[in-house]
Every structure is written in structure tokens, then in C-alpha cells.
Chains A and B, each alone.
Chain A
Amino acid sequence: MNPVDLGMPMVAPRGVGRLRGDESFPAAARVALADEQLRRNLGHATSTIRAKRLAVVSELDDWEQLRRAGETIKAATMARLDEHLVRLEQAVMARGGVVHWARDAAAANRIVTELVRATGCDEVVKVKSMATQEIGLNEALADAGIAAYETDLAELIVQFADDRPSHILVPAIHRNRSEIRDIFREHMPDVPADLTDDPKALAEAARLHLRAKFLSARVAVSGANFAIADTGTLLVVESEGNGRMCLTLPETLITVMGIEKVLPSWEDLDVFLQLLPRSSTGERMNPYTSAWTGVTPGDGPQVFHLVLLDNGRTATLADEVGRSALHCIRCSACLNVCPVYERVGGHAYGSVYPGPIGAVLSPQLTGVEDNASLPYASSLCGACFDACPVRIDIPELLVHLRARHVEERGKEHRVPSAEQVAMAAAAWTMADGRRFARAGRAARLMRFVRGRRLPPPLSGWTGSRDVPEPPQQTFRDWWRDRDGQP
């Protein structure tokens, strides 16, 4: 807003929140791949949810039109994001809400911490929210002596186990029911002594535990799935009803929302309320859709704060190709269909945003070099693009971010990498038919390495696969011989 602030928008800062992993994707994936239990849990869960999604999506004749509508609305909204956000702010304030602008994770954490402190409370209940996971809000509140209680069942499991979420929708997807039973037994203070691993019994135990929290909480923190600029209305869609409890019972509600979540009007919402549940949980409709507009005297929270979070989103918006990652509605359909995610799980991606969308979103929020291995964490099979309800061309974005990485690395390092040298040599050879023909004939020399293991990085291939035996004659030499014959 201030002209002196103009310039390159800032990426999400280091040292706060969870957008960066401790190690590269291939290293983290190696650990995950060795965990047989994890692979079984993931394989079972993703194939179940994939089948559910496919069934409800194929019911709709106009699914492709809905996807195109979703894509168009998001692109149009992003093109005038500044205007919609200011309209949203004005509408929320007009209805008695307070709006805060947070440039990054640190600012958002500071704002929320101060707001909670001002209420005199030292605990909050939480609605499942990716934005607050992204900024590491629970940790920031804990540092300030404020306990944050997750109320979504899977988030509760993750929090009890001092674990990290591994999926956008089902953060405990890496756990099976007997592991969950053990976690409850160990960490839930009021756990029934004879708790079994029956899903119903587990849900009931969580329900009783959470009910006490809902009834005593005075402050709730939520995220938002959508915000309507026209009226200043915020929405949360969910399955369990814990969100409804948090959004209605406490006196104070603080919502942290990424700035890309805004929609211009209720007509736009129509499209997304059809796209989201079918893509996300594989349901025709989600059980609970909560909408609130500012504060309503005598009904629900009497104090409402909306924290609008940038944290690298404006920087993402500045990339003409990459910006479509901001269209994501966090359904997680791309995770469920991704063959890479299915095998390594969410933790390998380092960021709270795993899977294909994480591989294109996290590097943009943090700057590509801080998550440089993520754009390569895909075989570009394209299943994610097909599943995406707003048609984000994730493979194209992955390739684009790889190019950004190669360019940025080239600027930073004066000495080219072995890969850069190899790629340049290959490009030189392949830019000319005769040079390429000579190189093709030379490939026959590979016959001598048949069956042997090649040196790194090609050992990545020969670790598990044989190298085919090069032919005696290339195709073009065969063609020339044949062509020469009468």
C-alpha cells in the first residue's frame, strides 16, 4: 500500500513456521520408503479415498465445466486480489469485525498472541487450519504460555503424538487405527481403560475428551476455506462438527486466512461448494458448512478478528506461470492420486503442504532455493492435474520451477554443476544432425558396461535396473544402408 514498500515482494521468512524441511526430498523419501507400515497405511488410505472421489465425481455430467469455472473464477480473482481484499476488509469492519494484515508468519503469530493475551486467557481451541500450521502458530502460542488445543480428530492425534501432519485433509493418514489407540492411551488424560481400536470407540473417546474443551473455551482460532468480499462473510467447511463448536461457543474468534482465499461474491462460492467436498472427502456435500459475518449481538462470538496472511503469497502472485498455485482450495485430491506421495507420505516434503501442490506451492512461498528439491519430486505423470478441481497444471508448474531453480543456481554459482555441463554438452550435440549421428554410434561403447553398475549419478539407475544393451547399428545408419539399396 505504501509506495516506498514497492519492490520485490517478500518470501516467507526462515526460522518461523513449517514450510521448509530439514533435509532434501530424496533423503527424506529414503527414510519414509524404508517404513513398511507407513507404506501400507498410505497405500490403503489413498486408494480408498481415490475410489470414493472417482465415484462422486463421475456422477456429475458437468464436472469438467465446474472445474473450468473454478479455474476461471480463481484466475479472475487473483488478477484483482488487492481490490477484493480491501472490499473484504471494509465489509468485515462494517459488521463489527477487526481486520489485521500480517506480512509474514512472524507478524501473524505476534498478532494472534497479543489478541489472545488481551483476553486474559491462557488456552485456545483450534479449528483445523493449514494457515496456522504453516506459520507454526501453536508453537508461537506455547512460547507465550498459551496452550492451543486442536479439535479436529486427526489434528488431535498428531498433536498428542507430538508428530507432524502428513496430509492436508487427513493429517494423521500415516497412522493406522491401532497406532491411534496407543496414542490415545498414552496421551489422552480421560481415556477409557478398555479402549479398543474400533473406529467408533476411538471417535467416541475423542468426542468426550473434546466436549469438555468446547464448553470451557473462551477463545477459538480458526482458518477459513473461503471469504466473500461482497459481504465480509467467512466460511469453514468440515466433516466432524468440531469446527462449528469452536466457531459458535467461545466469546472471541480469531481467524487466520491466507490472502488467496477471498472470493468476490456468493455466486462464486456456488462453484466451490460443489468442487471441494467431492474432491476432498469424496462426499457430495460436507456435513458442516459454517458461515459468519462480523459479530451478531447475542449470537456466537462477540469479538471477531480476521488476520490476513501474506507469507510469500504476493511473491507467488508475481510469477505469471507459478501464480496459479494460489488457486488451490486445499482439497488434497492431488495428494491422493500422486504415486510419489502414496509411497513416501507427507513428511518427506518437509513443508506442511505435501504432495504435488506442496511441491509447487512451498518453493514459491519460501523462494525456490529454500525448497530446491521439491520441484523434482515428481515423475510428471500428470495424475494431479487431472484430479485438481481448479485445473492447476501442476506438471507445468513443476517444470517451470525447475527452470527457475536452474537459473537461480546458475546466477549464484560461477562454477557449473556436473549436470549443467552434461546438459550443455547434450544440447550442443543434439543441435546438429551430424554431431548427433556420431554420438549415437559412440553409444555402442556402452556395450562394455553391460551388467555393470555405473558411477553416480547414473548409479541411481543401475541400483535397481539393468542398462539395455546398445544396438550394433543406430536406426539412422540402418535407414541410410537401406536407402542406398536399389
Chain B
Amino acid sequence: MRVGLFITCLADTMFPEVGKSTVRLLERLGHDVTFPEEQTCCGQMHVNTGYQRQALPLIEHHVDVFEGCEVVVAPSGSCVGSVRHQHASVAARAGRTALAERATSLAARTYELSELLVDVLGVTDVGAWFPHRVTYHPTCHSLRMLRVGDRPLSLLRAVGGIDLVELPAADQCCGFGGTFAIKNADTSTAMLTDKMTAVLSTGADVVTAGDSSCLMHIGGGLSRLSRETDDTTPRPLHLAQVLASTREESA
């Protein structure tokens, strides 16, 4: 299958390894990956911070760029959530009916990585090898907006050598929430602290998730903790990076 990669602005600029892993994984499974280079950002930050009018050109741009793709994948539950649950309604509210229809059509063939693998490509064993103790944090938007359910876990369970440990209170938000982390930094930090406590209690070497943003938050907290305590803390690693790992090339 020919899959258009929507890398997301955050992974593009800050976490390119997530994109590279997604490409390696899909190519290993025998699929073609295209990368429309004009792509930028889905506009979620603007919409969620109250700047719907400013988000409209981004939404239109996103639809223009990806409309030609048969199937689109993004390594982010949150950004796919934005495409699927916000684009059409923001366009419709601005009176852009035609754009809303195009956005609805594109959203119907845009998938988060675990959805693409399990539902579209019909695979749970992606032939990965990752001999580490791993715990999985289901991000809020993949859990409650996209309802990815246990797709990521079924993919992880099939990884060779993995020691997958359950994260306590896994469905609790890590406290990121985009600009929430800055506007309500104290509350966000209190949520992060509880999430880090849960992650540390698993004794995992790696904490994985389907969103670079939440991992940046959890990882940023763990990194600070590690520097302040001179102790090693679990490494944040995107689901794509775990699934792309092999005996020859491991994240």
C-alpha cells in the first residue's frame, strides 16, 4: 500500500527519529511511504488555544497537501484527533462548507500509526525485536478521542524479547495538554509528578506512547528528575521507535 506520511510539526522539528522509524517500519512491512514536503501543522495548538480563525489557513493547507493521498498515517493520536474531530467543524463554523466536506473526506482516511497497522494493514506482529523492560502510557487523545483501545498493546505484546509491564493508573492524563502545560504549569506539574511516580513504580527502562508531545512532557520531567537525583530514569521512546527496532538496528 502507498501511505502518505503526516509527520506532525513536533516530530519533524524535534523528534525526527519518530518519523524515520515510521518510514523504516512501514517499508519493512512492504509498503511505500510518500512524504508530501509542503506539509506543516494540523493547527491543533491554534484551535485548542482559542485561535480558530488563525487555524483555518493551516487546516486548508493540510487538506490541500494530503488530499491526493489514498491513506495518510501520523505517529500521533493527538494530531489525528485534530484532523478527525476538529478540522471539519472549525471549517463549517467559519462558513467554509466545501472545505469542511473535503476535510471530512480526508479525515476518514487518516490513521494513527497503531490504527493503520492493525485495522488497515491487518498486522499485529511487525517483526520487531526490543529486549527491554517497557511500560506503555495510553495518551488521552488516542484513548478517548480515537479509541485506539488495546491496538498499541497488541502490537507491543508481539515484539520479540520485550518485557512489557503494565502502567498503574494508565488512563490518567500526564498533564501535558498543549498550552495547558504553560498556562496552568502548577497543576500540570502535579499531574506529571503522579504520572512519573507510576512510571517509576514499574521499574521499566523505557516508557513508550503514541504521541511525541506527551512523551516530551513525561521525558522532560524524568530528565529533570534524573539530573536532580543523579539517578537514571526510564527513557521516553515513541511506539514507532519500539516497533521499528530489530536485532540489527535498535532504538
Contacts and interface: CB of A to CB of B under 8 A. Distances in A.
A439 B186 CA distance: 30
Given A343-B187, A426-B45, A468 B14 contact: yes
Contacts of A339: 172-173, 175, 191
Summarize B's interface: helix, strand, loop or mixed. helix
Contact of A433 (B15, B37, B172): B37
Given A339-B172, A464-B189, A465-B224, A381 B11 contact: no
Contact of A466 (B39, B175, B227): B227
A427 B224 contact: no
A478 B144 contact: no
Interface in A459-486: 460-461, 463-468, 470-471, 473-476, 478-480, 483
Interface stretch (A108-116, A245-253, A402-410): A402-410
Contacts of A382: 140-141, 143-145
Contact of B16 (A419, A461, A467, A471): A471
Interface string B173-210: 10111111111111111111000000000000000000
B57 interface: yes
Contact of B12 (A33, A376, A476): A476
Interface string A425-444: 01101111100110110010
B248 interface: no
Interface stretch (A22-30, A127-135, A259-267): A22-30
B224 A440 contact: no
B184 A26 contact: yes
Contacts of B216: 468
Nearest to B219: A468
A94 interface: no
A33 B190 CA distance: 8
Interface residues of B, number: 71
A55 interface: no
Interface residues of A, number: 66
Contact of A402 (B14, B39, B50): B50
Interface in A376-425: 376-383, 385-386, 399, 402-407, 419-420, 423-424
Contacts of A431: 40, 57-58, 61
A479 B38 CA distance: 13
Interface string B41-76: 101011111111111011001000100000000000
A377 B184 contact: yes
- Of B7, B141, B173, the most chain A CB neighbours within 10 A belong to B173
A389 to B, nearest CB: 16
A340 interface: yes
B220 interface: yes
Nearest to A443: B13
A344 interface: yes
B144 A464 contact: no
A225 to B, nearest CB: 28
A476 B173 CA distance: 30
A427 B46 contact: yes
A33 B182 contact: no
Given A376-B183, A379-B140, A427 B58 contact: yes
B54 A427 contact: yes
A429 to B, nearest CB: 8
Contacts of B20: 475, 478
Nearest to B173: A381
Contacts of A423: 46, 49, 51, 54
A464 B182 CA distance: 11
A120 interface: no
A457 interface: yes
Contact of B11 (A26, A404, A436, A475): A475
Interface string B148-176: 00000000000000000000000111011
Nearest to B190: A343
A440 B12 contact: yes
A352 B47 CA distance: 28
A376 B180 contact: yes
A403 B144 contact: no
Contacts of A212: none
A1 interface: no
B46 A30 contact: no
Contacts of A419: 49
B73 to A, nearest CB: 14
Nearest to B221: A465
A437 B12 CA distance: 9
Nearest to A431: B57
A476 B217 CA distance: 23
Contacts of B178: 379-380
Given A26-B184, A423-B51, 6 more contacts: A29-B186, A378-B177, A406-B51, A433-B38, A460-B188, A475-B11
10 A-B pairs with the lowest CB-CB distances in the bound complex, closest first: A379-B177, A465-B220, A402-B50, A460-B185, A433-B38, A406-B50, A381-B173, A382-B144, A475-B16, A475-B19
22 contacts: A29-B184, A29-B187, A33-B186, A377-B187, A378-B177, A379-B173, A379-B180, A380-B140, A382-B141, A399-B48, A419-B49, A427-B54, A464-B221, A465-B220, A465-B224, A466-B224, A468-B223, A470-B13, A471-B16, A479-B23, A479-B35, A480-B37
Interface of A: 25-26, 29-30, 33, 39, 321, 339-340, 343-344, 375-383, 385-386, 399, 402-407, 419-420, 423-424, 426-427, 429-433, 436-437, 439-440, 443, 451, 457-458, 460-461, 463-468, 470-471, 473-476, 478-480, 483
